[in-house]
Amino acid sequence: MIKQFVSTLALILAVSGHAQPAALTPTMQPDIGAKYDAVTPDADYVRREIMIPMRDGVKLFTVVVMKKGTSGGPILLTRTPYSAARATSRNVSLQISEILPVADKKLVEDGYIRVYQDVRGIHKSEGDYVMTRPLRGPLNGTATDHSTDAYDTIDWLVKNVPETNGRVAITGSSYPGFTSLMALIDPHPALKAAVPMSPMVDGWVGDDWFHNGAFRQGFLDYFVGQTGSKSADTDVAMGRRDYYAEFLAAGSAGGFAKKYGFDTLPAVKKVMEHPAYDSWWQGQALDRLLGSRPLTVPTMLVVGQWDQEDSYGAPAVYRALEPKDTNNKMLSLVIGPWRHSGVNYDGSGLGVLRFEGDTGRQFRDDVMKPFLDSHLKTGAPAFDAPPVLTYAVGADKWQRHDRFPAGERVNLYLDDRFSLSLNAPAAKAAHDDYVSDPAHPVPFVPVPVNLNDRAMWGAWLVSDQRHASTRPDVVTYVSPPLKAPLQIHGQPEANLFASTSGTDSDWVVKLIDVFPEENSSQPDLAGLQLGIGMEIFRGRYVKSFEKPEPLTPGKAERYRFLLPGVNHVIPAGHRLMVQVQSSWFPLYDRNPQKYVPNIFHAAPGDFQKATQGVWRDTARPSHIAIPVVGGAAAARAALPN
């Protein structure tokens, strides 16, 4: 009877169109099998993962993203060591504007095809990872580099992405800014524009790893994160997070590297083996490499006034390429009021500073996109790209100029009574002394210092410098209140005459905008000592970056070095300040103040106190050459005698 019921039920289900239940899934069938695709048919975009072959057979992981229905779209490429998968999956969403970085939103909504690629050897790309892989040649005996990989990638994309119009631009910030510049060496014919942002250009002179020979030891964590594993996710097991105490206890930067095993990593070993600006560094300097080649791709260089990582690169490449831009149509330099890579985020403020609107979005929408459109989109309006575009901090507006700097150099002298003057000193022999003690280095921000605190790190260049100006090992010079606004446009140059009782020394020079002591409308700005431009120089390189020498105790040497590029308007009532010190810790490794062949290997007994002299007399007139809009006349109006 039961068998007859079951048969009858099966017949009824079959007649009614209901199939019998499928066989049950076996309990022990593996649960991780085919990849789940989160992009459902309801998504408003197409996302493709591709392994693009390079000329040597290595395949690079590449993600192509576009709005559904895109046709004849230009390609915007970014080549990154920071994971193409993550860059194109910021959120789990069916909307393209949600899965991509915010800076991509307007572009993809207007038909751009966005492409991100893992550089060779990291994340999902094949091959060997060499951090900032040098150009093929003396330092790279292979046939491939970031230039050839960019060429091969572009060649594949224009031939195999049916939705494209065959025109490509490249962009990216920091390391991807570096790869953007590398694509300009022997560029593919389809590469029509480039927007390198905060590019790493010269890791010794002024970008990530060193500044004028002083090692930025906080970046040891970066080396570990980038090279500790192919997935680039290695962290440092420090435990406590006061880097000031940790680096001080470790002694030298090399001692810190040894303590945590960093010294076994090839990238760290290479840097520690090349403390001076030798052929290894010179052969990788992109401003030199690009300066020796024709400028064939319209290029817009972008950097932040307070870029805490790569302030050197964009202005250096601009200086190298600007003479090649004979009609002022191929090259642009943009400086905004941003931190490192801040152009790609909300630019309405930085630290305690507030600006007129979202300056990052203003640039992206009003300048970058029309620039790209004019070179990549069929029928797009012509765009008169500004040769130089800078945001005037203090006046809160964008300004266009034909050249950088737009200011004329005016000397601001360190004077007696710790003051500043436009007049050269008259004293025959005058100097101000302080004692620099490596056991108590000047912190770059108040302790404790957590270099993994992104909020602190991103805004530290606009942090209040009052924590340093009151220290006895920082000598401070202040002007009277300005009688009229003073606009600085360009790169101030430090001209410091200084002596030491030791045989080596670091010199830090800070140019500072001092706010009035009262500000009822914005109390957190009252008395603020805001860095306009700050930089360091390692004394052993005063005669040669390539061949360091011990300093002669007591002898004043002239140290000349550029501060970062700015457009800064100092209002009437504010004062100018210059601070000079001999340590900037733990951002930079401590100088032992006794000459040793390689500071990475300085022993505890090498670190010694030194008496430092800042000279300000007729023969040794220490000063800051500031590029003033309006020149000497404007400077005299602001700082009358």
Same domain for 451 and 343: no
Same domain for 218 and 148: no
Q: What is the mean pLDDT of residues 123-149?
A: 96
Is residue 52 helix, strand or coil? strand
CATH number at residue 256: 1.10.3020.10
Supply the mean pLDDT for the chain.
94
Nearest residue to 118 (alpha-carbon basis) of 94, 139, 160, 146? 146
- Tell me, what's the pLDDT at 37? 78
- Tell me, what's the pLDDT at 2? 47
Is residue 460 helix, strand or coil? helix
Q: What is the DSSP letter of 94?
A: S
Same domain for 168 and 72: yes
Same domain for 263 and 285: no
Domain end (from 223, 248, 280): 280
Instruction: Give 444-460 pLDDT, tens digit per residue.
Output: 999 999 998 999 999 99
Residue 205 has pLDDT above 50, yes or no: yes
Asked, for residue 547, whether it belongs to a domain, the answer is: yes
Asked, for residue 12, whether it belongs to a domain, the answer is: no
Comparing 362 with 22, the larger pLDDT belongs to 362
Q: What is the mean pLDDT of residues 198-217?
A: 97
CA distance 161 to 285: 34
Q: What is the DSSP letter of 565?
A: P
**For 16-20, 195-199, 282-286, which range has the lowest pLDDT when averaged over its residues?**
16-20
Same domain for 427 and 306: no
CA distance 547 to 6: 94
| Residue 567 structure tokens | 């457009």
CA distance 438 to 267: 27
Asked, for residue 375, whether it belongs to a domain, the answer is: yes
- Tell me, what's the pLDDT at 41? 85
Is residue 21 helix, strand or coil? coil
Instruction: Give 465-510 pLDDT, tens digit per residue.
Output: 999 999 999 999 999 999 999 999 999 999 999 999 999 999 999 9
Nearest residue to 297 (alpha-carbon basis) of 196, 380, 381, 156? 196
CATH number at residue 454: 2.60.120.260
- Tell me, what's the pLDDT at 240? 63
- Tell me, what's the pLDDT at 5? 46
Residue 18 has pLDDT above 60, yes or no: no
Decide if 561 contacts 492 (C-beta within 8 A): no
Q: How many CA atoms lie within 13 A of 27 on its CB side?
A: 0
Q: What is the mean pLDDT of residues 195-211?
A: 97
Domain assignment of residue 124, given as a range = 45-204+281-401
**Distance, CA of 519 to chain centre:** 32
CA distance 373 to 382: 8
Asked, for residue 227, whether it belongs to a domain, the answer is: yes
Nearest residue to 107 (alpha-carbon basis) of 76, 64, 70, 62? 76
Q: What is the mean pLDDT of residues 272-281?
A: 97
CA distance 262 to 600: 13
Same domain for 472 and 621: yes
Asked, for residue 605, whether it belongs to a domain, the answer is: yes
Rounded to the nearest 5 degrees, what angle is found at the Cα of 502, between the Cα atoms of 499 and 505?
65
Same domain for 580 and 471: yes
For the chain, give the percent of residues with pLDDT over 90: 87
Asked, for residue 480, whether it belongs to a domain, the answer is: yes
- Tell me, what's the pLDDT at 522? 87
How many other β-carbons are positioned within 10 Å of the β-carbon of residue 39?
A: 16
CA distance 540 to 503: 8
Same domain for 437 and 308: no
Same domain for 464 and 599: yes
Number of compact structural domains in the chain: 3
Q: What is the mean pLDDT of residues 366-377?
A: 98
CA distance 95 to 103: 15
Q: What is the mean pLDDT of residues 147-176?
A: 98
CA dist list (Å): 485 to 31, 464, 612: 69, 21, 34
How many other β-carbons are positioned within 10 Å of the β-carbon of residue 408?
A: 17
- Tell me, what's the pLDDT at 640? 85
Decide if 139 contacts 93 (C-beta within 8 A): no
CA distance 140 to 144: 8
Residues contacting residue 118 through CB under 8 Å, at least 6 positions apart: 60, 61, 62, 80, 81, 83, 84, 85, 124, 125
Asked, for residue 37, whether it belongs to a domain, the answer is: no
What would the DSSP string read from start to end of 3-20? HHHHHHHHHHHHHTTPPP
| Residue 369 structure tokens | 């996109």
Same domain for 617 and 535: yes
Instruction: Give 41-84 pLDDT, tens digit per residue.
Output: 889 999 999 999 999 999 999 999 999 999 999 999 999 999 99
Q: What is the mean pLDDT of residues 189-195?
A: 98
Same domain for 495 and 394: no
CA distance 563 to 511: 9
CATH number at residue 65: 3.40.50.1820
Instruction: Give 225-254 pLDDT, tens digit per residue.
Output: 888 888 767 777 776 679 999 999 999 999
- Tell me, what's the pLDDT at 606? 98
**Distance, CA of 484 to chain centre:** 33
**For 34-38, 58-62, 317-321, 386-390, which range has the lowest pLDDT when averaged over its residues?**
34-38
Rounded to two decimals, the pTM is: 0.94
- Tell me, what's the pLDDT at 239? 66
Instruction: Give 288-342 pLDDT, tens digit per residue.
Output: 999 999 999 999 999 999 999 999 999 999 999 999 999 889 999 999 999 999 9
Tell me, what amino acid is at 314?
A
Domain end (from 280, 308, 334): 280
Residue 404 has pLDDT above 50, yes or no: yes
Instruction: Give 517-530 pLDDT, tens digit per residue.
Output: 988 888 999 999 99
Report H helices in 214-308: 220-227, 243-250, 253-259, 266-273, 279-282, 286-291
| Residue 537 structure tokens | 């120089």
Residue 621 has pLDDT above 90, yes or no: yes
Residue 9 has pLDDT above 50, yes or no: no
pLDDT band at 171; cut points 50, 70, 90: very high
Omega into 448 within 30° of 0, i.e. cis? yes
Of 17-26, 41-50, 166-175, give the range with the top mean pLDDT: 166-175
Asked, for residue 38, whether it belongs to a domain, the answer is: no
What would the DSSP string read from start to end of 303-351? EETT-SS-SSHHHHHHHHHGGG-TTS-SEEEEEES-STTGGGS--SEET
Same domain for 236 and 96: no
How many other β-carbons are positioned within 10 Å of the β-carbon of residue 423?
A: 11
CA distance 564 to 307: 9
Residue 12 has pLDDT above 60, yes or no: no
CA distance 622 to 614: 8
Domain end (from 382, 401, 420): 401
Count of all residues that appear for the chain in the document: 641
Containing H/E element for 159?
Answer: helix 146-160
- Tell me, what's the pLDDT at 272? 96
